[in-house]
Structure 1
Amino acid sequence: MTADDASVLQRPAEPPDFLHAYGTEEEHIADVWKPQQQTDRPLILFLHGGYWRPKIDRQHARHTCAELSRRGWPVASLEYPRVPGDPDQSHRAVQQGVQALPESLGFQDALLVGHSAGGQLSLWLAATSPPASLRGVLALAPVADLKQAHTMELGEGAVADFLGEDPTARPDLDPAQHPAPEVPTTVLHGVHDSRVPVSISEDYVQSHPSVRLLRLDPGDHFTVIDPEQSQWRHIPAELERLQGQSLS
């Protein structure tokens, strides 16, 4: 297993067109990009990763969000509270934002995209409380199984830090413990991911066979959010496919 190329985290990123609040708390905010031309595409709601750590916010996702906007997609990248030991605060905020943002930004339809920890939040929300606007989910290297991630000690104990307890006590927050989302769902994962091993996604899809799995080879944990990587092209391609499924 190779080391992941985290250079995308250090490069300056293009700022959003504007910020939009979806709630009353400081972190109930979203970066918003709107394409230059009018579009009938659904709004992309992006949930960033970072193992739910307070120090890692949405800014590292700006590269991929800005590039999707340049390709004609409207994008809202949500910030959400990341308080160790209080996972419900994160989940409530994501529920609120995904519910409120499409309508408040003038969209009827949305696609939900989440990377890493944001992938966990995306799969969980789509399985437990999907809003009427949700048309599909794209989970990028998701922490799709909290129990397995905890056993593997991923992120130096990130799961226990986030939950404040053993994940067996919170099956309600674990995507692996819920049915597959009813909307079309794809998991996309680099085969050389050393931060969230692809085996987690493979096991999730095996137990949720309606979910599509795409393995990127080559590909690591950050390939999926770095537009400078050639394999990143699979992200807009899969969004096109999900949009097509929602229209059929």
Structure 2
Amino acid sequence: MFIYLHGFASSPQSAKAQDISQRFAQLQIPVQVPDLNAGDFSHLTISRQLNQVATEFADSSAPITLIGSSLGGLTAAHLAQKYPQVQRLVLLAPAFGFLSHWLVKLGEAEIQRWQQDKYLMVYHYGEKQHLPLHYDFLTDASQYQEEDLQRPVPTLILHGNHDEVIPISASRDFVRSRPWTELIELDSDHSLGNATSAIWQAIYSFCFGS
């Protein structure tokens, strides 16, 4: 079973989700792409994403490959830590340490305003408009730490060395102490939009052999 997890403020209609789904379809392999917005982006949390995706694990004996982009990649990694049926990970610009990177850009005053007002307006790329996000997203996310990700699941990470959202150093740090992981650095930014062919070649080789 293959499941693709889209990124933060994105959707199953994202360019990467569509491209990867179409390429798997050419191999006659279905890919599940759940909508992690769940019709309520404003109350999104990582915990909700984990619970939602876990319901897709209908047959506990079926091996699962998770492909996750950005926050979807972070979610995939935590699912693999918890569920032994997840036997392979492909992480595209995974959002390791994303709170530290994101909160610095927001600034202390904006964070305090978010806590006080309970909602922060965030641009949602899937909806193409600003939507409110509850402060619970931040408090929930703070409990998920990369240090907890120690289950040796074969993992392929693809990350752009010009990533302006999650620096590639986050993935470099992650693989340094985890010999079961492989990092491919791409000449790209966070969207990896110019690297779709390279991404697919890497996924195909990792999942099906060269």
With structure 2 as the length reference, what TM-score do the two structures score?
A: 0.71
Query: For structure 2, which runs of at least 5 residues remain unmatched after alignment?
Result: 112-121, 123-132
Change (3 A) 1:148 1:88: same
Query: Out of 17, 26, 29, which is 1:70 matched to?
Result: 26
Aligned length: 181
Q: For residues 177 and 98 of structure 2, what CA distance do their matches in structure 1 show?
A: 14
Note the C-alpha offset of 1:138: 0.3
8 Å CA contact 2:98, 2:166 repeated in 1: no
Cα separation, partners in 2 of 1:206 and 1:161, compared to 1, 3 Å = farther
1-structure distance, mates of 2:175, 2:19: 28
1:46 aligns with 2:4: yes
Q: CA deviation at 1:84?
A: 3.6
| TM-superposition CA deviations, 1:16-46 (whole Å, max 9, x none) | xxxxxxxxxxxxxxxxxxxxxxxxxxx3210
Distance change (3 Å), C-alpha of 1:240 and 1:162:
farther
2:175 aligned partner, one-letter code: V
Tell me if the contact between 1:126 and 1:182 (Cα under 8 Å) persists in the aligned partners. Answer: no
Shift of 1:239: 2.6
Where do 1:13-28 residues align within 5 Å? none
Contact kept, 8 Å, 1:192 with 1:219, in 2: the verdict is: yes
Task: Pick closer, same or farther for the CA change 1:233–1:185 going to 2, 3 Å.
Answer: same
**CA offset at residue 86 of structure 1?**
4.2
- Give matches, 1:23-34, under 5 Å: none
Unaligned runs of 5+ in 1: 1-42
* CA spacing shift, 1:117–1:167, aligned 2, 3 Å: closer
Paired residue type of 1:47? L
CA distance in 2, matches of 1:45, 1:57: 14
Q: 1:143 aligns with which of 78, 85, 95?
A: 95
Taking a change above 3 Å as real, the CA distance of residues 68 and 212 of structure 1, as seen in their structure-2 partners, is: same
Name which of 36, 55, 67 aligns with 1:113: 67
Cα separation, 1, equivalents of 2:134 and 2:176? 25
Alpha-carbon distance, 1:150 to partner? 4.2
2:202 corresponds to:
238
Identity of aligned residues (%): 24
The Cα offsets for residues 86-121 of structure 1, whole Å up to 9 and x where unpaired, read as: 442222112222x12xx49xx933311000110110
Within the alignment, does 1:165 sit opposite 2:142 as a pair? no
Question: Matched residue of 2:78: which SS?
Answer: helix
TM, length-normalised to structure 1 = 0.61
Q: Label 1:183 to 1:164 Cα distance change in 2 as closer, same or farther (>3 A).
A: closer
Q: In the superposition, relative to structure 1, how do residues 194 and 136 fare at CA in structure 2: closer, same or farther (>3 Å)?
A: same
- Whether 1:201 aligns to 2:171 is yes
2:191 aligned to 222, 225, 229, which one?
A: 222
In structure 1, the partner of 2:162 is 192
Cα displacement string for residues 36-78 of structure 1 (whole angstroms, at most 9, x for unaligned residues): xxxxxxx3210001x2x3xx32211223322332244321111
- Tell me what 1:22 maps to: none
Assess if the C-alpha contact under 8 Å between 2:101 and 2:165 holds in 1: no
Residue 57 of structure 2 corresponds to residue 91 of structure 1: no
| Contact in 1 for aligned 2:163/2:189 (Cα 8 Å) | yes
Alpha carbons of structure 1 residues 166 and 110: separation in structure 2 relative to 1, 3 Å: closer
Q: Which amino acid aligns with 1:44?
A: F
